[in-house]
Amino acid sequence: MAWQPSEKPAVTLENSSVEDMSKNERIKLGSQGLFFVDPEGGVTFGDEVDALTNGSAETISNNAKELSKFFGIYKQQGRGERGKKTKDFFFMLRIKCPAGGQLTKGQWLALDSAADLFADGTIRITSRQAIQYHHVYGPKLAPLVRHLNRDYREGGTLAACGDVNRNVMGSPIDGLAPACDPRGTELSEEIAEDLVPRTSAYFQVFLSDGEGRSKTPINPEEPVYGEQYLPRKFKVGIAHAGDNAVDLRSQDVGLLPVDDAGEVWDFWSGGGMGMTHNKPETAPLLGEYLGRVRRDQVVDAIRAVVTLQKENGERKDRRQARWKYTIRRMGLETVRKALRDRFGIDLEDAEALPIPPMELHHGFHEMRGGGGWYGISVESGRLKGAQREAVREAVETLDCRVRFTPQQDLMLIGVRDAEAVEAILRKHGVALPADISIARRNAMACPAKPTCGLAMTDAENVLPSYFDAIEAAGHGDVDVVIRMTGCPNMCARPPTAEIGIYGYGKNDHVVLVGGSREGTRIGKPLYRRLSGEEMVPALVGLFGAIKEHNTEGLPAGEFLDRTPVEQLRSWIGIEAA
């Protein structure tokens, strides 16, 4: 996992022509603001969407696939038991929901009804506090986007994916916790609005009248992103003084309030969890501390970082294109100087405040201004069946608002009677948070196989069975955070977890241990390759080792970090391959 900087000179907007860059860069440039799929042939993204809607095409072209991400859309293809692709084509659609939202009754009912009308009947809460709809087939894609724009929010899926700023995360207790109110949710909305793409293509394709639709872009200009947008995705997370559920050092920009009112913020930059197997020039990296920024300059400072990444980011090798590599290639002092001298940011040198741990926020909690919130544990973020019905009933009958958490859970906001919420949950046969093991509630997984084309292994579909075995062994009370993904893109952030798992090949996993709840440490490899058949005994043994040998009562991540991996393997009873 040790990172080795690339020795290749970077290909950037500042020093190279588009011919030297990747195909993705040429597609973005030729699209004229995400409008054209094939500019020479005059084929627009709207043409391909129309073909899906009328059933004359099962899916979209590869060029369109790259543009579709900017609109919150992922082209997907079913896979059989052995991972072989089938002829089943469909899409995943993601919404934009800054800070997990504080969704009104009407917004939630619109999101909920969309699951049955257009998708597979489930709502998938993501690790970035948004939601995804899975198994959306071609004829229903455009109607789903229009439904969300009409009844959820305008531009509801715009910039949910793509080489732009993604969903801005925020602590789910911001504005709710009695102790302090740094207005992080308000700030997340400001950042999201400032960095949303300005192109008219999204609205021309999905929201204009199909008859007589313009065949040319009305407004392709992007004042922040330019003609080629960013080299890769860009992520922002805003923590709370008492909660780092956003894992701020895993973000391209992470913010922590210095004072209770959020007038000054610690500014971290250059984090990111993704890597590529057997490519030591890629690795999970934690954000570095740049200094302090006043609230009235936070949005300007983030836009300045986005501009530096646009100009200096790698445009040929997408594995090297994230800001976490750009900032290290440029150097922290160079970035600080640019922020101050070029962009006029009053960046203050200071000693960073300690970062608080991640919190779950389950059950009932009293809220600022009266009433409270009730946090519901959603296993792997997959809201379905009886649990989805229970949430809908609670929202409808108790007039609650809804917010998503970075742990893929859900909070009901404005609860006046906790017993009424629990009565609805019990009525539908849904376990209360207190009745679910702490180990299971701490866990997080990405969807992985069979829908995600990047996944090498299962994650969401297999992690519950691991907990069945852990609980059967009597270890469900071990307070440890597990996160699992099916590939090294690390969407569920396993490197900072106390136990992190990600896919390596069709039946192999990497197991990390020793991350921290504060998100300030990357885990170390316990097993670099572990087969699927060995995962259950390894995890049961690891939980047992923590329970038996952590006699000092240390946080699980601290205990695992301090204990040599050879000793852990000896206790587990499975040696390294």
**Distance between CA 99 and CA 111 in Å, rounded?**
17
Crossing angle for the helix pair 295-312 and 184-194, to the nearest 10 degrees: 40
CA distances from 362 to 124, 294, 359, 426, 436 (A): 18, 32, 9, 16, 11
CA distances from 180 to 200, 206, 241, 295 (A): 39, 41, 8, 16
Helix H, strand E, coil C: the string for 526-539 is EEEEEEHHHHHHHH
Residue 83 per-residue DSSP state: S
CA distances from 235 to 188, 244, 277, 410 (A): 11, 15, 22, 21
Task: Flag residues of the chain having pLDDT under 70.
Answer: 1, 81-83, 209-213
Domains of the chain, earliest start first: 363-436 (3.90.480.10), 440-572 (3.30.413.10)
Nearest CA among 195, 116, 119, 104 for reference residue 152? 104
Condensed to tens digits (0 to 9), the pLDDT of residues 375-390 reads: 999 999 999 999 999 9
Helix H, strand E, coil C: the string for 225-287 is CCCCCCCCCECEEECECCECCCCHHHCCEEEEECCCCCCEEEEEECCECCCCCCCCCCCCECC
Condensed to tens digits (0 to 9), the pLDDT of residues 148-165 reads: 999 999 999 999 999 999
Report the pLDDT value the prediction gives residue 1, as an integer from 0 to 100: 61
Nearest CA among 27, 62, 83, 80 for reference residue 508? 83
- Residue linked to tokens 């080489």: 163
Provide the β-strand partners of residue 366.
372
User: Is 423 exposed, middle or buried, given 0-12, 13-18 or 19+ CB atoms closer than 10 A?
Assistant: exposed
Question: How much is the CA Rg of the chain, to the nearest whole Å?
Answer: 23
**Distance between CA 398 and CA 393 in Å, rounded?**
8
Contacts of 441 (CB under 8 A, 6+ apart): 360, 362, 377, 433
Which pair of structure tokens corresponds to residue 332? 């922290």
